[in-house]
A and B are shown apart, each in its own frame.
Chain A
Amino acid sequence: MQPTEVVRSLSAQWPCRDLQARQLASLLHPQLPSPPTLVVHGVSATCKSTIVRGVLSTLEAPHAIVRSSECITGRHLLTKILWNTLEAFDQQAEWERFGKGRCEHVSTLVVLLEECLAARPAEKQGKFVLVLDEIDRQREASPTLLSALARLGEIIPSLCVVLILSSTPRPLFLQNAAVPHISFPPYTRKESIDILLASPMPIIEGMPEESTSRIYPHFVATIYDTLIGPTAGSILSFRSICDRLWPRFISPILQGETPPGGNTEWDFTRLLVKNRPLFRHQGESALVHRIVPDNSNADHGPRKPFAPRVAPSALPSLPYFSTLILTSAYVASHTPQRLDTIFFSKFSSSSLSARNKRAHHRRRLKVLSQAQAAEERQQAANGDAASKKGKRSKTRITKSTLSSAFATSSATTSAIGGAAGITGPSTILTARPFPLERLLAIYHAIDPNPPANPIRTGAVADQIYAELATLRRLRLVVPASGHHGGLGSGGTGNTSADAGEKWCVNVSGDWIGELAKGIGVEVGEWLAGGLD
């Protein structure tokens, strides 16, 4: 079979990949000599693996495909390579001859593969293609694994190794010159739209077919321009968004509304004008995948496109005591330690001057943090390596005593749930770690139902520890030992790890604010810019 024929048979099913299919077909053709190693690369959802598989099966070239993402360790990968090769030759029964099915190192693999290829039956002699899919995502791979695998083809003449990468390879990453690369670029606008229009159009009841065929191409193009193009979406997400939004887009027709401007028929432009809010409100949420798809919107979506995107999230029901502890942890994380006496001291808490002082400090903190946030944004925009200098950079108000309180911040996690973290007043500051004793003290300060006789009631510290352990399991409060940022600041998933001295709250502020209101604590009273 000639490469052109291969391409023809493939392009019906997988359009717009003709060039790559042709290259592959000529390089892997059983009758033609192949390069020992071949690199196929391209971002995800560009049809790499599918085309490689398709070409190989159409050519009927003997091959084995190993999905690297299914191999847990490097050793696992090597064993799998050997096993799949044996399988390709129907030699599984003779596994004991080839290292007893065990293969722990690449050098062993070379020997075993060589034996294996030599031992295959005469009618299957010839070129053998080994495809390693997603090899750049291999877990626990040794640093030399890739280049070693690339040499396999050089050592074993009848072997051709195809490496499929989803990242763009660096120059000479295989330590080997002149390895042919085949690039799978992302689909262009035209290609994407063509692919989508090639599949059958959605059929909706009550929609005349000819108007579908008239409006749908425009609709698809609009979706691409508004949602997919700017977000570098894949064909898959493109298709699912089109499927989801199409019924809503044409709902004016379905519901028999009369088109504006005295026309008798809806055309694309009128629908678009009518549906502008749809793109504004629903479009973005359509891009985000959720575990539980919100069906409620789909049911009566067209009725009220102005409804807020997502219903306010249901609050978890933590018990009273745990909520209070979580709140104090949050407050402890977000108040500079120096201001503790001002914010939490009970001696002057009710006097007017104390309240004024607190309000003053809240405003100060707010101004300061806004300046800080602005500066960070600026740095991010400038694109210099702001992160290398550490989160903390100098603000203009350094002379103030307050800023030195910030200087100690090591900026662990900030609001995880919130998007950028600079949305509401309560998430302005990054969460700082605090010692447990401080949490206990703040707990006593913000307790909305303080014991009537604090001298006689016993200490609550012991109960707090028990609840804190539960909160830790839920990763609402995590120990902040060591330095690390990002998501899992609890280190490993192990909950029995020894606790560091300092702890840190691990949820966003709005959420805790809501929870705390439920038990009668106003978080804003203790926070920077909280009540303003």
Chain B
Amino acid sequence: MDPDGLEDAMDLSKDRSQNQGVYIYQPAKSGKAAGERPSKRRKVSSTNMKKDLSESPAFMPLLNGDETPECVQLRFDTYKQLWSDQENKIQNILEDVDAGVLTDVLSFVRETSPQTSDGCIPTGLVTVGSNVSSLSRLLSRLNDQLKSTNEGGVVVLESGDAPNLKTSLKNIIRAAVTNTEGNDGYQRFLTDRSGPRVLGYDLDLLYDYVQRRGTKKLVLALRDSEAFDPALLTDLFSLFKSWLDRIPFTVILGISTSVELFEGRLPRSCVSLLQGQHFEVQEAGNCVDRIYEALQTRADGQIWIGRNITSTLFEKASDYFQTPEAFSRIVKYAFMSHFFANPLSVLLGNPDPSVLPQGRFCEAIRNLPSFQMFCEDLLEAGSANESRNMIQDDKYLLRAAFDHVEAGQQAMRHIFSAVLLIHTCLQHTQATKKTTISDLSVRALAGELGESPLVEDMLATVRTMDSGKLTEVLNTLPNLADDSPLTVIQADLQALLETYADSLPLSSEYNINSSVVKTTVVQQRVLLTKGKANLPTQDIEYTKVVDRLVAALQEYFTETLIRPQDLFMHEAFLFDLRNPLKETFTPRPRFAIERALTSPFDYLISTVETGARISAKQPAGAILYQLYLESGALINVHDLWQAFYGVYESDQGKKVDEREVMALFYGALSDLKMFGMVKNSRKKTDHLAKAAWMGL
């Protein structure tokens, strides 16, 4: 080994000041004497800082920095405007989802009192399932309601606020008072009262407050009831019980598992203090579906998220604890990264063509896969001139790009209105399992919906429907356009129904009742043959209408349900990159550490590329880790050291300074220990126990 290499290794091990065994203590600042008080940090309002931040452009110029500032600003503005629009919608949906439970809980809080619940504390159990965030929304709205009518307020307590009885009482009292009086009000409340200063956890304070305000309902909500210590809950509730004749407590418990499980964990004495009702909050999945629907299927949509992201989003929503807020955050991130990193997104802001930087921007467009596909299609269609224009004439290209963005957006809107139509139809045709909009959207975004068995089944069911049901379906279908064949068919059907008003309902020939089974005995075998029954004329006419309807639907589906990826310029309005989202929302620290240790040159710049897996060029920690991977559950330290030394020795022969290598070895071993990968074994004194396995 060359001495440089060893020095490099030592250098690498230098920068771990965190876990050094020996170091020279250097006080951070030598200015202060030991006894002097530390200077107080000045409280300066940070408004100046914030201003600076908002003024500087949030987005970077793209296209190698050639983008004009106007474009950057436009991208940013478009993003802002689009997202704030969506955010409002999401907020409305969330509020709408909770509305039902809110009224229930509110009326429960208003109507119950200790007298109505056998002298127990009135308790609302709210099971939220995996929809953890819904409870806090619910509670804040409940609080607003109660405050606005001057009935009382809601005190939210989290398990983190309640390490012991004293602190939780203090927090409860403080929160209850500040809820209506504000922070200063709380201080005044403490100082203004006559009599001696009361301890902060004395419920006398709360009693005073309740009397002063005339509070009728004081709701205490535990957001994550399971995380509370059962003993603490028992203490708290027994205390409330004994104050119940003076302070009108109502308890709301948020439960994520099940009522039985929660009740089973509490001591009986605690359970006997509570009595109340059970409320259920809607599942997160439902909420997420609605948010997604609102995002994608709006009639004036400008940007859509693609198939990959959709499936990632829904996988996350169904497989993990995820709140609707987290869902919308991911969508926001997707929007943001689209506008941040895609220079074409500026087209969504309807820019003045003169603002656009022609050269680079057009070059970017020409590099798009969709552009290349588009040109090939043009060539195949024989319009070579046009494709030449596209390649050579910037202005022509820009105009075409604008047009196609517009047309593409229109096509996307059509796709999703078709999705909505199929969804409404499915509501009627599917008996048991309802397909959600998100399922349909994923297929539609992949361009597979038109031929999917789902739609074929649906059409087959539509064929067999009788007239009553069909009118029902047709009436619920969203209006597509005035002159669409559907409207004509609907009118025809109406006319038909009016003519044969006395023989309703009409059924088509595809209906199972319209076919007859004939039985013939041929050579002692029973043959079943299906044949059509003789249909009355009205049914035959009805069948014609149904046939026309199905044909029209089929035509409509093939027309609209195209692959979005085939659209020219789809990169501008369809965001479908899985990667920044995945990396950001599922970080993988353990994987990264393991990778860094097994192949350090994935991260470090190496001058020498060695073929061997383990080499002395690698940092000592990485070498040791790879040796560690080779050993079993118990590692003899001496063997490990020998192997470690061997790595250096084989690299450099006998010239290695054993003491230096030993130092590296110790350092590396303490690193591994810090990572929690090895620990001392109790079975054998000179052995280490392996505590982490790779690739789990």
Contacts and interface: CB of A to CB of B under 8 A. Distances in A.
A binds B: yes
Interface of A: 67, 69-70, 72-73, 75-76, 79, 83, 92-93, 95-96, 100-102, 139, 240, 288-293, 313-322, 416-417, 435, 437, 440-441, 444, 458-463, 465-467, 470, 473-476, 487-488, 490, 492-496, 501, 507, 511
Contacts of B691: 435, 437, 501
A313 B169 CA distance: 33
A435 B692 CA distance: 10
B652 interface: no
B416 to A, nearest CB: 27
Nearest to B274: A291
Contact of B260 (A313, A461, A462, A494): A313
B614 interface: no
Given A101-B195, A292-B276, A473-B227, A496 B590 contact: no
B605 to A, nearest CB: 24
Given A315-B258, A474-B226, A289 B242 contact: no
B598 to A, nearest CB: 12
Interface string B198-209: 010111000000
Contacts of B268: 288-289
Interface string B269-295: 001101111100001000000000000
B321 A467 contact: yes
B159 interface: yes
A441 B257 contact: no
Given A69-B239, A72-B201, A435-B691, A507 B261 contact: yes
Consensus secondary structure, chain B interface: mixed
Contacts of B227: 473-475, 493, 495
B683 to A, nearest CB: 13
Task: Select the residue from B159, B194, B196, B264 with max chain A CB neighbours within 10 A.
Answer: B196
Contacts of A487: 230-231, 265, 267
B163 A319 contact: no
Nearest to B277: A292
A75 B196 CA distance: 14
Closest 6 CB pairs of A and B: A101-B196, A493-B229, A417-B264, A440-B696, A313-B260, A316-B257
Interface in B105-136: 118, 123, 125, 127, 129-130
A289 B271 contact: yes
B355 to A, nearest CB: 43
Given A72-B169, A316-B258, A317-B283, A79 B199 contact: yes
A66 to B, nearest CB: 12
Interface in B669-694: 691-693
B454 to A, nearest CB: 22
B99 to A, nearest CB: 21
A315 B127 CA distance: 11
B166 A444 contact: no
7 contacts: A319-B130, A320-B319, A417-B264, A435-B691, A459-B695, A462-B587, A474-B224
Contact of B196 (A102, A293, A475, A493): A102
B197 A101 contact: yes
Contact of B278 (A292, A467, A474): A292
Contact of A437 (B197, B263, B693): B693
B333 interface: no
B81 to A, nearest CB: 34
Contacts of A293: 275
Nearest to A470: B321
B259 A292 contact: yes
B591 A458 contact: yes
Contacts of B35: none
A316 B125 contact: no
B115 to A, nearest CB: 15
B650 interface: no
Contacts of A70: 203, 239, 242-243
Interface string B343-368: 00000000000000000000000000
B160 interface: yes
Contacts of A313: 258-261
Given A69-B239, A313-B258, A488 B226 contact: no
Interface in B180-227: 194-197, 199, 201-203, 224, 226-227
Nearest to A440: B696
Contact of A320 (B199, B226, B318, B696): B318
Contacts of A92: 195
Given A292-B125, A473-B159, A462 B696 contact: no
Contact of B166 (A69, A73, A458, A490): A73
A290 B263 contact: yes
A465 B588 CA distance: 10
B230 A476 contact: no
B320 A467 contact: yes
A75 B201 CA distance: 12
User: Which of A313, A316, A441 counts the most chain B CB atoms within 10 A?
Assistant: A316
Contact of B163 (A72, A76, A493): A493
A44 B486 CA distance: 77
B696 A76 contact: no
A319 B318 contact: yes
Contacts of A444: 696
B125 to A, nearest CB: 6
Contacts of A102: 196-197
Given A319-B320, A475-B265, A494-B160, A459 B696 contact: yes
Contact of B202 (A67, A72, A467): A72
A72 B243 CA distance: 13
A322 B320 contact: yes
Interface in B345-400: none
A453 to B, nearest CB: 13
Contact of B261 (A139, A291, A417): A417
B108 to A, nearest CB: 12
A93 B235 CA distance: 33
Contacts of B123: 291
B165 A316 contact: no
A418 B278 CA distance: 22
Contact of A69 (B228, B242, B590, B591): B242
B320 A321 contact: yes
A251 to B, nearest CB: 23
Contacts of B580: none
B271 A76 contact: no
A318 B130 contact: yes
A441 B693 contact: yes
Given A459-B696, A467-B320, A492-B163, A69 B258 contact: no
Contacts of A75: 199
B199 A317 contact: no
Contacts of A495: 159-160, 227
A127 B663 CA distance: 82
Contacts of A101: 195-197
B122 to A, nearest CB: 10
A93 B196 CA distance: 10
B165 A72 contact: yes
B230 A316 contact: no
B577 interface: no
A79 B224 CA distance: 34
B196 A95 contact: yes
Contacts of B201: 72, 76
A494 to B, nearest CB: 5
B533 interface: no
Contacts of B599: none
Contacts of A470: 321
Given A95-B195, A289-B272, A496 B160 contact: yes
Given A291-B274, A496-B160, A240 B226 contact: no
A335 to B, nearest CB: 17
A380 B112 CA distance: 45
A461 B590 contact: yes
Contacts of B197: 101-102
Contact of B591 (A96, A437, A459, A490): A459
Contacts of B259: 291-292, 313-314
